[in-house]
Chains A and B, each alone.
Chain A
C-alpha cells in the first residue's frame, strides 16, 4: 500500500495560502499603481467561477479587480428546449444517464431530478463509459447518455460512442449537446463586451492547446492567460494579465504549463473529430452561434437519440420570466444587479440556469459572495431584497 501522507505534495503546493496571499498583494499593488485603481477581467469557465468564489479570491480582489463570469458553464448555456427534450426522454421508457450537473436544471416542465422522483429511470454517471457498460449488461433497456460539456468532455464521450460501436450495441445513444469554446469567445468579442482580458479555461485548453486560442491576441488584440484551477494558479494568471495590461501587451499565455501544451492533446482532438462535427448551436442567453456545437457525423448518427426517438417538445421562451442570464453570461451584468437575484431567484427556487447550475455565476454569487445582513455583496452596489 503506497503511503497516503503527502502523496500529492507537489500539486498541493498550488494551494499554498501563503503564496496566494502574496499574489493578492502583488495584484492589488499593481492595479493601484499602474492600472488606475481598477480593472475588469472575464473568467470564461464555470469551474473557475466556483473556484474563484469558494477560495475567496473574488472577495480578496474586490474593488481592484472585477472578475465577470463568461459563458463557460455548459449547464447554463444549454437551451431550455434541450433540457425539455432530455426530460421528455426520461419520461418515456428510456434509461437516461447524465452528469450530476444537469440533474436540477429546470426546463419548462421540470428537471431530471423531478422526473426521477416520479419514477423515471435517471442515473447520475461519473463517466460516459458507465452508461455504455450499463447498456451492455441491460440489453432490454434503451440507454441514452446526455452529452453536455465542452472540449474537455467531448473526447471522452467520443470514446464511449466508439466503444458502443465496438460492442455492437443497438441500445445505446447520446443526446448531443456539446459546445465549443473558441466560437463563443469570438461571438462575445464580435459584440459588446466590457472586459480587458481573459482568464482561459485550463482543462479545455489541455485538449485544444494554446494554439487554438491564439486568435484572441492575433485577431482581437486581447491579453489572455490559460489558468489552472487551484488558488495559486488563478492568482498567477490574474497577476500575468495585469502585468500585460500595464505594459499594453496582447498575447495568449499558457500559465498552466504542467498540463497544457501548445498543440493540446492531439489524440483527444482526433477522437472528438472522428465522430463529431461542428454544427450551429443555440447558447442560452447568447443565441445562435455558427459552428459552435458538436453533432454526430453522418457515419455515427445511428447513435443520435434525436433520430432514434421521437421527442416532442414545445419551443421555450425564457425572456418572459425576466431572467437576465444572457447578460450575465456576456459579462454585462453582475448577478446581484439582476432584479430577480436573491429575491425570487435563489438556488432553491431558480429562475434561470445561472442560478441552478452549481457553477453558474448567479449560484456562485449567492452561495459565496454574500457578506452582510442586507444580503448584497459588498461593493456590488445592488440593493438588497426588501
Chain B
C-alpha cells in the first residue's frame, strides 16, 4: 500500500492525487467490474424489463465486523434483499462511502473484499461508487449508502394488493441471530457466544421459489430492524387484513433463545438480515416450504400462520391458545434485569 501510515486522511477526499490513488489502489481492484472500471461519471446500463425496481439504503453498524458478517456484506445483502422482496431480480448496486479520517486502510480493504464476495454470491455488480472523507468522530469508521436496481418480469410483482384471506404465512428460517450477533460482538456484556449473523442474499432462494412454484408468493418483507413482529404489523396494515402468527411454530434457534432469556430480549422484535416473511397462496404453501427447506438459507423455514379478513392488525396466538395483538417496536430493546 502506497499510502502514508496506512490510514485514511482528509486529503484522500480532496479529489487530487491521494483520492486518485485511493480509488485505483484500494477500491477498484476489489470492486472492479467492466462498468466500474470505465471510471466514468455515471454507469450506463442496458435493461430489458417490463418494470424496474429501485431502492436505497444506508448502513451503520458497530462493530464493523461481527461473526457472520460485516458492514460491507450487510450493505450488499440488505440492498439485494430489498429488491428481492418486491419480486425483482437484483442486478446493479451503487455504493457511497463516508470514511472517517484515521480509518485503517486495511480495514477498508477487508470491507471491500467482503462486498465483492457478497456481490458475487448474489450475482450482482457494484457499478457506481463514491467516496468522501469526513473528520474524525463524524462517523463510526465507515458508513455506506447504497442504491440498487433490479428488473421484474410480468407476473413477478409482489405486493399487498395480492394478499387474500386464507393465505398462509411463511418464515424462511430462525429469528434474531443478526441482532444478537452484533450485540454480543460489541463486547459490552462480557458474554461469548457462537451465534452468527444470518446476513445473506435471498435472491437465489426466492428465485427458486418463483421458478418452481409460480404465482405462489403474494407479498413479502424482510424482518430487519424491529423484527418479525414489526414487519407483520406493517404488512397486515398494508393489506388491510389480519395476520395471525402461531407462537409455537415460529422458529428460534437454541442459541438465540438462550441469549434472549439471559438478556431479557424478545426474539420477535430482533433484527434479521437473511430471512423473509412471505404471504403464500394457501394451495402452494407446502410446496413453497419444501423448496425453502431444500435450500441452505431456508433449512429451518416454517409455516407460522395465516391471513384472515380483518382490520389490518397482527396477532400472536400463544402456546396457551390465547391471542394477543402485536405492536410495532417502540425503540430498540435494551438488555433487562427485570
Identify the A interface with B (CB < 8 A): 4-5, 7-8, 15, 17, 20-21, 24, 46-47, 53-57, 59-60, 73-75, 99-101, 103-104, 113, 123-127, 130, 149, 153, 231, 346-348, 357-359, 366-371, 373
Contact = CB atoms under 8 A, between A and B. Distances in A.
A75 B311 CA distance: 35
Contacts of A54: 266, 318, 324
Contact of B334 (A5, A17, A74, A124): A124
Contacts of A75: 338
A357 B248 CA distance: 27
Interface string B317-330: 01111111101001
Contact of A99 (B311, B322, B323, B336): B336
Given A130-B190, A371-B324, A149 B338 contact: yes
Contacts of A367: 327
B130 to A, nearest CB: 29
B320 A153 contact: no
A284 to B, nearest CB: 15
A100 B335 contact: yes
B321 A124 contact: no
A359 B338 contact: yes
A60 B313 CA distance: 20
- Most chain A CB atoms below 10 A, which of B254, B266, B325: B325
A60 B322 contact: yes
B323 A59 contact: yes
B233 to A, nearest CB: 12
B41 interface: no
Nearest to B263: A126
B337 interface: yes
Given A371-B325, A373-B311, A231 B320 contact: yes
Nearest to A100: B334
B246 to A, nearest CB: 11
Interface of B, helix, strand, loop or mixed by DSSP: loop
A47 B330 CA distance: 19
B5 interface: no
Contacts of B189: 126, 130
B318 A56 contact: yes
B190 A57 contact: no
Contacts of A130: 188-190
B255 interface: yes
Contacts, number: 105
A104 B311 CA distance: 31
A233 B335 CA distance: 23
Contact of B318 (A55, A74, A123): A55
B338 A55 contact: no
Nearest to A17: B319
Nearest to A46: B338
Interface in B61-75: none
Given A126-B189, A126-B191, A101 B324 contact: no
A363 B238 CA distance: 26
A101 B255 CA distance: 23
B188 A47 contact: no
Given A17-B248, A126-B190, A24 B337 contact: no
Interface in B293-338: 311, 313, 318-325, 327, 330-331, 333-338
A59 B325 CA distance: 11
Nearest to B318: A56
Contacts of B319: 15, 17, 20, 55-56, 231
The 7 A-B pairs with the shortest beta carbon distances in the complex, nearest first, are A100-B334, A56-B322, A56-B318, A17-B319, A59-B322, A56-B320, A126-B189
Nearest to A102: B334
11 contacts: A8-B258, A17-B248, A21-B321, A46-B338, A55-B318, A56-B318, A75-B338, A100-B337, A103-B334, A126-B191, A347-B330
